């Protein structure tokens, strides 16, 4: 096997029945890709010995690196560690640094007794290299067999991320010679994927063979990612920077940011640079816009708070939406969201405001107001601007798209594009 390939195996019945969404594979794949390791396949298996063994044997025929997550906890369904112990012909021994760490967590930090079930988490096969887990109680493990590296990591996402960054990536870089892979990503808004592809067709057709373009639509926005692969990393950087500059020119007015970042990060940075603030008045999104604006560190510098006016009484009593508006054009209307934006900005004394009201589904529609109809308003001290959107997704997706479109409308107001 001349090239370097990896397989990712996620273990747990909860993954197969959809009870838990597998975010671990995405994180691991991104980490591997960043150091030039191609992911050959991703396999999800249940808590079954036969299924795990079959997955291991399949992956070993295709990959030099196998990364497993899950099944390392203290309960009966956590079968990965004893299975790997048997698979690699080892015997379980106590790893004293891990036992000391677990004891410190339970006895000293949480003032709880150290039971035998938790002690057993410090047991590891004597044929593995222990990957010390500072963030939890289950250690990671590294096995080597027939020039294949097998990493076993806990399924708890923050523990998996820590071990991937602290142990897995450095170990791979130490033992494998990888070809560089370089990505450059930008975010666009205001033009659908097919129309955007048409707009930049000449650019895409002229790309050199070692640089690929990917379209990544989400939340009503489209990310464009250039990927360069090769031998000479310095030349790759020169080549991709040259093409990325051309891509920025090609997307023109639809460019939001030339970084791989979300819309709320862009808006937060704009507001902080201007030393300005924003407040929110949300109906159909139920606080999701406020969540996005406040989810990153430093958001208190620009986001003051919001009013979740789900019930019309709240719109009337706290946001001054008149009974006349509600009885004539209704809560899902231009008049309602403009009044909501104006009132919340004034009451919270902010430079900007965002408001939304819509029909997220799966019910509530009328002949005049279909499912997915959303009014969004933004305001500053000089004006109020509103726009209607007609979305076509399920309830949760409609909420997510609405929130991102609202933040983008705010961005356009901040940069004087509306």
Q: ∠ CA 192-193-196 to the nearest 5 degrees?
A: 85
Distance of alpha carbon 137 from the chain centroid: 25
The two beta strands, 65-69 and 148-153, are: parallel
For the record, the structure tokens of 80 come out as 């990965």
The domain defined by 263-414 folds into Maf protein (3.90.950)
Dig out the tokens for 60 from the structure: 């070993």
Token pair 């819309």 is found at: 263
Backbone phi, psi, residue 382, to 5° = -95, -30
The helix (H) or strand (E) run that includes residue 33 is helix 24-34
Consecutive 10-residue averages of pLDDT for the chain (418 residues): 84 90 94 90 94 96 95 83 95 95 90 87 95 94 96 95 96 89 94 95 95 92 93 91 98 96 97 98 98 96 98 97 97 98 98 98 92 97 97 94 97 96
Q: What angle do CA 259, 260, 265 make, to 5 degrees?
A: 80
DSSP 275-288: T--EEEEESTTTTH
CATH class, range 5-175 = alpha beta
| pLDDT, tens digit (0-9, with 9 covering 90-100), for 208-267 | 998 999 999 988 899 999 999 888 889 999 999 999 999 999 999 999 999 999 999 999
Q: Is 103 strand, coil or helix?
A: helix
Q: What are phi and psi of 51, to 5 degrees?
A: -65, -40
Global pTM value: 0.81
Could you give the CA distance from residue 288 to residue 291 in angstroms, rounded to a whole number? 5
Instruction: State how far the Cα of 159 lies from the Cα of 221, in Å rounded to an integer.
Output: 31
Q: In angstroms, rounded to a whole number, what is the distance separating the alpha carbons of residues 186 and 58? A: 37
Contacts made by residues 256-259, CB under 8 angstroms, sequence distance 24+: 256/186, 256/187, 256/188, 256/189, 256/221, 256/408, 256/411, 257/186, 257/187, 258/186, 259/185, 259/186, 259/187
The pLDDT, as a whole number, for residue 2 is: 56
Its CATH architecture, for the domain 181-257, is 2-Layer Sandwich (3.30)
For the chain, what are the domain ranges? 5-175, 181-257, 263-414
- Cα gap 165→153, rounded to integer Å: 12
Q: Please report the pLDDT score of residue 1 as a whole number.
A: 46
The alpha carbon of residue 27 and the mean position of all alpha carbons in its chain are separated, in whole angstroms, by 9
Q: What is the CA radius of gyration of the chain?
A: 26
């Amino acid at each position: 096997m001349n090239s370097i390939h990896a397989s990712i195996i996620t273990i747990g019945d909860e993954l197969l029945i959809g009870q838990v969404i597998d975010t671990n594979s995405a994180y691991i794949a991104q980490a591997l890709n960043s150091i030039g390791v191609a992911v050959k396949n991703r396999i999800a298996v249940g808590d079954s010995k036969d299924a795990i063994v079959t997955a291991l044997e399949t992956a070993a025929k295709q990959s030099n690196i196998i990364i497993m997550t899950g099944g390392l906890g203290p309960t009966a369904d956590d079968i990965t560690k004893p299975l790997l112990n048997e698979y690699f012909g080892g015997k379980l021994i106590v790893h004293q640094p891990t036992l000391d760490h677990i004891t410190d967590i339970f006895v000293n930090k949480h003032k709880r007794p150290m039971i035998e079930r938790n002690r057993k988490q410090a047991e590891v096969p004597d044929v593995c290299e222990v990957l010390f887990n500072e963030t939890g109680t289950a250690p990671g493990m590294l096995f080597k067999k027939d020039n294949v590296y097998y990493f076993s990591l806990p399924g708890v996402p923050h523990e998996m991320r820590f071990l991937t960054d602290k142990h897995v990536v450095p170990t791979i870089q130490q033992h494998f010679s990888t070809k560089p892979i370089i990505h450059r990503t930008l975010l666009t808004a205001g033009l659908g994927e097919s129309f955007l592809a048409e707009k930049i067709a000449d650019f895409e057709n002229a790309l050199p063979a070692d640089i690929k373009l990917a379209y990544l639509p989400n939340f009503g926005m489209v990310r464009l990612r250039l990927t360069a692969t090769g031998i000479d990393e310095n030349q790759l950087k020169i080549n991709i920077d040259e093409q990325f500059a051309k891509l920025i020119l090609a997307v023109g007015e639809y460019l939001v940011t030339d970084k791989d970042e979300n819309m709320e990060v862009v808006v937060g940075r704009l507001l902080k640079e201007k030393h300005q603030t924003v407040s929110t008045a949300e109906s159909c999104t139920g606080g999701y816009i406020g969540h996005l604006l406040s989810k990153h560190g430093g958001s208190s510098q620009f986001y003051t708070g919001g009013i979740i006016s789900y019930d019309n009484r709240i719109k009337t009593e706290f946001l001054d939406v008149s009974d006349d508006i509600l009885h004539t054009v209704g809560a899902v209307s231009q008049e309602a969201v403009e009044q909501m934006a104006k009132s919340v900005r004034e009451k919270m004394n902010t430079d900007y405001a965002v408001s939304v009201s819509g029909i997220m589904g799966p019910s509530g529609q009328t002949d005049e107001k279909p499912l997915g109809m959303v009014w969004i308003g933004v305001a500053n001290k000089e004006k109020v601007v509103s726009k209607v959107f007609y979305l076509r997704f399920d309830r949760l997706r409609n909420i997510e798209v609405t929130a991102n479109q609202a933040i983008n409308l705010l961005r356009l107001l901040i940069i004087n594009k509306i």
